[in-house]
Structure 1
Amino acid sequence: MKYLLLLSLAVFFGCESKNPATPTPAPPVTTVDTVGKFQNPVLPVGPDPWVIASDGFYYVMHTTPNSLRIYKTAAMSRLRAARPVTVWTPPATGPNSRDIWAPELHNIGGKWYLYYAADNNGVDATHRMFVLENESADPTTGTWVDRGQLNLPDNKWAIDGTVLQLNGQLYYAWSGWENDLGGSQNVYICKLTNPYTAEGPRVRLSAPTYDWEKQGFGVNEGPEFLVHNNRVFVIYSASFCGTDQYALGQLAADTTANLLNPAAWTKSATPVFGPYASSGTYGVGHNGFFTTPNGAENWIIYHANAAPGQGCGDFRSIRMQPFTWKADGSPDFGTPASLTTLLKRPAGE
């Protein structure tokens, strides 16, 4: 009954259940630290992970419902040894006071920008995107200036925002509702005139159309851009995060195309990563990417649960594994690695 109630609330209120008011402790995880090898997870609690590399370090964030924290590490496979720095806490009340979801850190024009979703005192229907700015070279230091709400076109419910810099233009993609009534979540895109100012129109790139995108209810969320050669991809999460069928889908376009034209994008008919229900890997989704300093290796980070039925709470841990490219230039993520798999550490570690 508790699960049915959670699911019914999620259908009406989007992904409110991503972050329960009382976080559920993550199960103990044993990680083998073998020379040159590691095992997932790299962080035992870490919903909605994000990573960006800069000046020899990786900066990692994930959802913590009541703050924004940044991990700084020179070795992603040893992320759990890093100590997070809390760079922002929400006000007691107001439009960005609760349910701080899926933060992302981007360096644009030599400044750091931190994008996050938040709502007004726990009312999920008020979820919008917000922006912070920092001129420091190291985002764990310096002063974060509040740039306020990102004025996305149509001002509808919005979460999971991300940025693409391509051909001199800034684009913003996010997950949202078509109207103010909830229901299916779609992936939208618009232009930015600067890192904290959006420009219309709001264009829907993807809606849940396949059965594998409608488990629990219809969801396309967590869009992330990935550029390779002359192609740009949007890798997104599909199906309700409270199901074990959470998985990654893919949109693809040419880098020279009009990215605001839905017809420029091709959608994969099948998941490109997951779902996978075995060996401690359930509910695979909400990914990010990084490249090793030598440029030779590409890695995907994502969250997953260690057991079935653990849903959208803090059982989700951060995993990572290398990926390659197919002959057509699209990413080949392979199969989610089990918790017993020994993986070679990223180059340079």
Structure 2
Amino acid sequence: MKRDYRTLIIQAIKHNYWVRLLLLLAPVIIILSCTKKSAQNVVQPPDPPKKETTFKNPLLGSGADPWVIKSGNSFYYMSTGVSKISITKTPAISELAKANPTVVWTPPASGPNSKNIWAPELHYLQGKWYMYYTAGASSDLATQRCFVLENSAAEPLDGSWTDKGKLSDPDGDFFAIDGTVLEYKDKLYFIWSGQISGSDITQRIYIAEMLNPWTLKTHKVQLSLPQYDWEKNGSAVNEGPEILKNAAGRVFLVYSGSSCHTDNYGLGMLSLKENGDPLNPADWTKSAVPVFSKSIENNVFGPGHNGFFKSKDGKEDWIIYHANAQSGLGCGGARSPRIQKFTWNTDGTPNFGVPVSTTQSLTKPSGE
């Protein structure tokens, strides 16, 4: 029978049997006491740590010829490794230093691609991963050529990399470095920096149509050679070609000019006219001035050999490049990878701004 404690209290007052009343109410008193004590002893969880929304350059202490490609929700970073090719996978490129590189390929002990592994680039073409890189047969840099590896795995850190050989024009197989790929109107084009003969010392930008991701279909065509004073500091150099497209599909070729041994190493640009033929030099217009160059005020010297990528949510455009933090550091291991957001001018051309200082806090790429 359910007890009416109010009635019991009234009866206890009338008949003066407090002891019996306390015995009946004891379970209720104990439960209420324990409940109150438990509530007092509950430990409140600490506030979650505040998420960092900014970062500073450089991303790493060292890393020449940086390259980034976004696939799915991940970024894949690469740079010159000299004796190996590594890929660093990260969900946030601004937090690259927290990720570990994975060595995916080491060169053979001897042969045409056994030495001086430079400027690797990762591309996803026709359902497979391809890695374009520069290598040579000896310490003599005149042997440097462009090569390609293939991987059919869905994830570039999985599977194995197959050597697909050298990419070159048999009628002009001379010094060749910094290969990249242009996808345009259902065709593939290979673009690189090279020389016109075995005795030439001027680096030029060449292009050829590709039969497939590892074979050239046409002979090379020269798109650019150093012609302005800003491209001839230290030596006459056009190298590190990279493709950039705006929202309308207009094609730009951004390259590095002057010797990387100088502080004046910087970026120049060629623009392909609308519906132009990439193999026709007349369809490209060259900027007479650099589009990205050193900033003495910000202590950024020799910014160059860049790449481009979208932010994680695809809303922003970013450039990655290497630079030195002091004057006179040249072409060595002091070059470090940096990123910064860029915008677009009203005429559809990119506006890269000024290389930012390593002391400046930058907002992380959107989506990170």
> With structure 1 as the length reference, what TM-score do the two structures score?
0.89
| 8 Å contact from structure 1 (residues 187, 205) kept in 2 | yes
Q: Distance in 2 between matches of 1:348 and 1:294?
A: 5
Return the match for 1:210 from 225, 228, 250. Answer: 228
Superposed displacement of residue 227, structure 1: 1.1
Return the match for 2:364 from 312, 328, 345. Answer: 345
Aligned to 1:99: 116
Moved more, 313-322 or 134-143: 134-143
Return the match for 1:36 from 50, 53, 57. Answer: 53
Aligned pair count?
317
Aligned to 2:322: 303
Q: Distance in 1 between matches of 2:158 and 2:324?
A: 32
Highest Rg: 1 or 2? 2
Q: Greater share of helix residues, 1 or 2? A: 2
| 8 Å contact from structure 2 (residues 270, 284) kept in 1 | yes
Listed one character per residue, the Cα deviations across residues 218-242 of structure 1 (whole Å, up to 9, x for unaligned) are 0000000011114100000000000
Superposed displacement of residue 179, structure 1: 0.9
Does 1:60 pair with 2:81?
Answer: no
| 8 Å contact from structure 2 (residues 312, 365) kept in 1 | no
Listed one character per residue, the Cα deviations across residues 255-314 of structure 1 (whole Å, up to 9, x for unaligned) are 511110000000001000013233331110000010013221000000000111000011
Q: Distance in 2 between matches of 1:210 and 1:37?
A: 38
Superposed displacement of residue 182, structure 1: 3.4
Q: Distance in 1 between matches of 2:325 and 2:200?
A: 30
SS of equivalent to 1:155: coil
| 8 Å contact from structure 1 (residues 245, 276) kept in 2 | no
Q: Distance in 1 between matches of 2:249 and 2:345?
A: 14
SS of equivalent to 1:209: coil
Q: Distance in 1 between matches of 2:326 and 2:274?
A: 39
Counterpart residue identity of residue 94, structure 2: S
| 8 Å contact from structure 2 (residues 309, 317) kept in 1 | yes
Aligned to 2:37: none
Return the match for 1:321 from 315, 340, 350. Answer: 340
Listed one character per residue, the Cα deviations across residues 325-344 of structure 1 (whole Å, up to 9, x for unaligned) are 00110000000001111100
Cα distance 1:171–1:194, how it changes in 2: closer, same or farther (>3 A)? same
SS of equivalent to 1:200: coil
Q: Distance in 1 between matches of 2:168 and 2:301?
A: 35
Q: Distance in 2 between matches of 1:160 and 1:112?
A: 18
Aligned to 2:177: 159
Listed one character per residue, the Cα deviations across residues 135-183 of structure 1 (whole Å, up to 9, x for unaligned) are 1111111111111111335212100000011110001110000111131
Superposed displacement of residue 216, structure 1: 0.3
Aligned to 1:270: 289
Does 1:226 pair with 2:223?
Answer: no
Return the match for 1:257 from 276, 280, 289. Answer: 276
Q: Distance in 1 between matches of 2:343 and 2:118?
A: 29
Higher RCO (C-alpha 8 Å, min separation 6): 1
Does 1:186 pair with 2:204?
Answer: yes
Name stretches of at least 5 consecutive residues in structure 2 with no aligned partner.
1-49
Counterpart residue identity of residue 260, structure 1: L
| 8 Å contact from structure 2 (residues 273, 285) kept in 1 | no
Aligned to 1:29: none
SS of equivalent to 1:339: coil
Counterpart residue identity of residue 142, structure 1: G
Return the match for 1:143 from 149, 157, 160. Answer: 160
Moved more, 248-257 or 188-197: 248-257
Aligned to 2:298: 279
Superposed displacement of residue 106, structure 1: 0.3
Superposed displacement of residue 34, structure 1: 8.1
Aligned to 2:3: none
Q: Distance in 2 between matches of 1:309 and 1:75?
A: 32
| 8 Å contact from structure 2 (residues 67, 79) kept in 1 | yes
| 8 Å contact from structure 1 (residues 189, 205) kept in 2 | yes
Name stretches of at least 5 consecutive residues in structure 1 with no aligned partner.
1-32
Q: Distance in 2 between matches of 1:295 and 1:57?
A: 12
SS of equivalent to 1:263: helix
Q: Distance in 2 between matches of 1:182 and 1:66?
A: 27
Counterpart residue identity of residue 140, structure 1: L
Q: Distance in 2 between matches of 1:140 and 1:230?
A: 30
